[in-house]
Amino acid sequence: MSSEKEHGGGDYLAGARAALPFALATFVLGVSFGVLARSLGWGIVAPIVFSVIAFSGSAQFAVVAVLGAGGGALAAIVAAILLNSRFLPMGVAVAPFLKGGPLRRALEGQAVVDASWALASRGGGRFDREFMIGATLPQVVAWIGGTVMGVLASDVVGDVERLGLDAIFPAFFMALLVDELRGGGQTIAAALIAAALSLALIPWVPPGVPVIAACAGALLGLRGRSS
Amino acid sequence: MTTLWVAILGVALASAAIKALGPVLVGGKELPPSADAVIALLAPALLTALVVSETFGEDGHLVLDERAVGVGVAALALALRAPVLLAVALAALTTALLRAFG
Q: Name every chain B residue with its beta carbon within 8 A of the beta carbon of A51.
A: none
List the single residue in A with minimal CA-CA distance to B50. Answer: A211
* A9 vs B: CB within 8 A: no
DSSP secondary structure code for residue A123 in this structure: S
Could you read off the pLDDT of B36-93 as tens digits, one per residue? 777 778 778 878 988 998 899 887 789 999 999 999 999 999 999 998 889 988 999 9
CB A135 within 8 Å of CB A18: yes
Identify any residues that bridge with B61 across adjacent strands, giving them in sequence order. B58
- Reported ipTM: 0.82
CB B71 within 8 Å of CB B51: yes
Element (H, E) at A35: helix A20-39
A42, A45, A63, A198, best to mutate vs chain B, most B CBs in 10 Å: A198
Its pTM stands at: 0.72
Residue B64: Cβ within 10 Å count: 9
Q: Which of residues 51-90 of B touch A (CB under 8 A)?
A: 51-62, 66-67, 70-71, 74-75, 78-79, 83-85, 87-90
The answer to whether the Cβ–Cβ distance between B57 and A98 falls below 8 Å is: no
Give the model's confidence band at A2: pLDDT under 50 very low, under 70 low, under 90 confident, else very high: very low
The reported pLDDT for the residue numbered A119 is 81
The answer to whether the Cβ–Cβ distance between B18 and A87 falls below 8 Å is: yes
Give the model's confidence band at A3: pLDDT under 50 very low, under 70 low, under 90 confident, else very high: very low
* Interatomic CA distance for residues B22 and A202, integer angstroms: 33
* Interatomic CA distance for residues A25 and A38, integer angstroms: 20
